[in-house]
Amino acid sequence: MLTLEKTHDEARQGEAFAPFSEDPNQYSRHFYIESYGCQMNFADSEVVASILQEKGFGATRDVEKANLILLNTCSIREKAEQTVRKRLTEFKKLKKQQKGLLIGVLGCMAERLKSKLLEEEKLVDLVVGPDAYRTLPQLIEEAGTGQKAVNVLLSRDETYADISPVRIDSNGVSAYVSIMRGCNNMCSFCVVPFTRGRERSRDDRSILKECQDLFDQGYREATLLGQNVDSYHFTPETGGDAVNFAQLLEQVAKISPLLRVRFSTSHPKDITDEVLHTMARNKNICRYIHLPVQSGSTRVLQLMNRTYTREWYKAKVERIWEILPDCSITSDIISGFCTETEEDHQETLDIMRFSRYDFSYMFFYSERPGTLAQRRYADDIPESVKKERLQQIVHLQNELSLASNKKDIGKVFEVLIEGNSKRDENAWMGRSSQNKVIIFPKTLEGLQPGDYVHVKVEQCSQATLLGNIVSTI
Ligand code: 5AD
Ligand code: SF4
């Protein structure tokens, strides 16, 4: 599962974005897009931008200038869906003012709500699922003639391998690269296998080409994305050896020592020693593993269909530290899953302390229609209890993040500069290999985003490290 909207990233904060064309007059028609949910949705919006640009649509940040408004949606929790519905109602008002304006829903809500959005509520003109973006130009034409345009078919083999994403709202330093789609895991709380379909891996040659192109354009960080990257497995149709995730990682890392490689997300059951050793051998593969635990109770993990126990998870964390002593570990945690007792909850707090997470994405359980949990178990924990437990989880995570940052004071990190600090344009914002944000004054001339520097950490808050440059690289 991929990490979600609430990031600790200074640079990538926010739930929505709109891309833009460098030259607004270059195109006769314009689209405006907002993305919600996981990184994969943001990456998909870049594929959509490429498909639309090819057909003569330029991107705009100004919703009033758009002929086409697209919302790339998320279904993971009820709240994400509510946010999108609210936004659609706002856009419906615009439709009355702008003749010919088309509104489309992309992504995970498309499959679930197609008839509702199109017919009952008449909120949108087109509905396009995650595997049907190639048909967008045709659907736009159909919608333009007043027909309701829908394609929510899921595919067994679509990976958009040949499409070069148009980088939108990019800092020019870091980019997402999608390496696979869908998920076969069937965690009982999760709607993703239903909205995004079966797992399939993208041709490694097209991934390598995209990463090489990014590097040649000046990018210095590629994050390889998949719901479960450790099960990446590509077999060339023309014969030849299959490529697994560790091999793919190594190939991407070999593009250049100056290209940082990250990946997300790892499933604790699938991350292998081979991946950990590949990381250890290649210093440019970042010391950062997002390893969602979801719950610390073996009984709850079983109900969640996570296929590991509390002990297995702890052993995996210890293995990571053994092979990669300076590796940061982060997590996703759900409070109040079906039947969760106070004792189960205490086990979650306990495994958080054990794993010393640097950061977690934390949620209370939200029952999703069609999932295994919805069909099998009662959503029996009162909302007040879910929220109280979540608050305790958040409180503990804040303590762990601060403790982890305090341990960094006095240490020197290799930092990739991403841009200006949001709060102070006389300071840079960059990131350590462990994915921690570091802010430091611009004491040296001639540096720019994409450069590496050594920074000594002097102070910290729970979210950020503050330091000074000690040398360039
Ligand atoms: N309720 C709450 N959180 C959920 N997640 C996935 N499905 C649900 C749900 N139904 C969380 C998991 C996952 C993250 C991306 O979102 O923690 O790892
Ligand atoms: Fe992630 Fe499990 Fe959902 Fe797959 S089913 S996307 S592994 S949470």
> Over the stretch 306-365, which tens digit does the pLDDT of each residue have?
999 999 999 999 999 999 999 999 999 999 999 999 999 999 999 999 999 999 999 999
CATH at 438: 2.40.50.140
Residue 23 has what pLDDT?
58
Low-confidence ranges of the chain (pLDDT < 50): 3-18
Residue 20 has what pLDDT?
54
Query: What does R_g of the chain's alpha carbons equal in angstroms?
Result: 22
Residue 22 has what pLDDT?
54
**Closest ligand 1 atom, CA of 76?**
7
265 alpha carbon – ligand 2 mean position (Å): 9
Residue 39 has what pLDDT?
92
Separation of alpha carbons 301 and 77, rounded Å: 19
Across the strands, what pairs with 472?
453
Angle separating helix axes 108-115 and 78-97, nearest 10 degrees? 70
276 alpha carbon – ligand 2 mean position (Å): 21
Q: What is the helix (H) or strand (E) element at residue 465, kind and residue range?
A: strand 465-472
Max CA pair span of the chain: 64
> Which residues have CB under 8 Å from 348's CB, separation 6+?
293, 295, 296, 297, 333, 335, 389, 393
458 alpha carbon – ligand 2 mean position (Å): 39
* Model confidence, pTM: 0.93
Task: Provide the domain limits for residue 48.
Answer: 15-151
Residue 168 has what pLDDT?
84
Answer whether residue 359 is part of any domain. Answer: yes
187 alpha carbon – ligand 2 mean position (Å): 6
Residue 75 has what pLDDT?
92
Q: Does 383 share its domain with 430?
A: no
Q: Does 24 share its domain with 121?
A: yes
Residue with tokens 């993208």: 202
Q: Does 76 share its domain with 193?
A: no
Residue 122 has what pLDDT?
79
Q: Does 201 share its domain with 252?
A: yes
Q: Which ligand is nearest to the CA of 367?
A: 1
**Closest ligand 1 atom, CA of 38?**
15
- Residue pair 353/396 in contact (Cβ under 8 Å)? The answer is yes
Answer whether residue 98 is part of any domain. Answer: yes
Answer whether residue 160 is part of any domain. Answer: no
Residue 264 has what pLDDT?
96
For atom 2 of ligand 2, the residue with the nearest CA is 187
Answer whether residue 332 is part of any domain. Answer: yes
Domain count, the chain: 3
Q: Does 389 share its domain with 270?
A: yes
Q: Classify residue 367 as exposed, middle or buried by CB count within 10 Å of its CB (0-12, 13-18, 19+).
A: middle
Among residues 218, 229, 225, the alpha carbon closest in space to that of 174 is found at 218
Q: Does 399 share its domain with 420?
A: no
Q: Does 144 share its domain with 43?
A: yes
Instruction: Give, for ligand 1, the residue of 74, 78, 332 to mutate: max count of ligand atoms closer than 8 Å to Cβ.
Output: 332
Separation of alpha carbons 173 and 10, rounded Å: 14
Residue 27 has what pLDDT?
83
Q: What is the helix (H) or strand (E) element at residue 467, kind and residue range?
A: strand 465-472
221 alpha carbon – ligand 2 mean position (Å): 25
Ligand 2 surroundings by CB, under 6 angstroms: 1, 183, 185-187, 190, 192-193, 227-228, 267
For atom 7 of ligand 2, the residue with the nearest CA is 1
Ligand 1 surroundings by CB, under 6 angstroms: 1, 4, 76-77, 189-190, 292, 294, 332, 334, 363, 365-366, 368
Instruction: Give, for ligand 1, the residue of 6, 36, 77 to mutate: max count of ligand atoms closer than 8 Å to Cβ.
Output: 77
